[in-house]
A = this chain, B = another copy of it.
Amino acid sequence: MNDLPRSGCPINLTLEALGDRWSLIVIRDIIFGNRRHYRELLTRSEEGIASNILADRLKRLMAGGFLTREDDPSHKQKAIYSLTEKTIQLVPLLAAMAAWGRRHTAVSRPLAIRAKLLEEGGPALWAILMDELRATHLMKQAATTDAFARLQDAYEAELSQNA
């Protein structure tokens, strides 16, 4: 699958690692949607990812060191996917994408408000979110999830306004 990189440019290498139509969607859902299982990623995806594509991307992301996989004790066939540190460090990149998208694409309102909060919170909020993700995904302990909850609350508040 992986040949030699086209160049040693950091932008190019980032693009080669994540520049397809689905990898960042999966990562986004794990980070902001707190999805940890295959079935959650498959059925609760806004974009409707196909099962074979999801399986392929999970495989690739694990091979690339973006995700790790453990057995879920509750079900012998169930797996839990966790973020690695390098994936957690994509938060600023996702924030930049969200900020640009909010300005220059036709985003839907409930999703825009989350992007707005993420942008206005700036590096300080990103750092908090990243620490929470580290606690959840790397240390495997109950974490305080203030930043996540804040983003989630804002999103749900926006949803209920439109209802």
| Contact (Cβ within 8 A) A46 B7 | yes
| Contact (Cβ within 8 A) B103 A9 | no
Q: In the complex, what residues of B have CB within 8 A of residue A15's CB?
A: 21, 24-25, 97
CA distance A96 to B99 in the complex (A): 12
Stretch among A34-42, A84-92, A136-144 lining the B interface: A84-92
CB of A94 closer than 8 Å to a CB of B: yes
Q: In the complex, what residues of B have CB within 8 A of residue A103's CB?
A: 86, 89
Number of copies: 2
CA distance A150 to B95 in the complex (A): 27
| Contact (Cβ within 8 A) B108 A86 | no
Known A-B contacts A97-B14, A100-B90; A6 and B107 likewise in contact (beta carbons under 8 Å): no
| Contact (Cβ within 8 A) A6 B46 | yes
Q: In the complex, what residues of B have CB within 8 A of residue A101's CB?
A: 9-14
| Contact (Cβ within 8 A) A105 B7 | no
CB of A60 closer than 8 Å to a CB of B: no
Please give 14 more A-B residue pairs, beta carbons under 8 A apart, in addition to A10-B99, A11-B97, A96-B96.
A7-B47, A7-B111, A8-B106, A10-B97, A10-B98, A12-B25, A12-B47, A13-B105, A13-B106, A14-B100, A15-B21, A16-B21, A89-B100, A89-B103
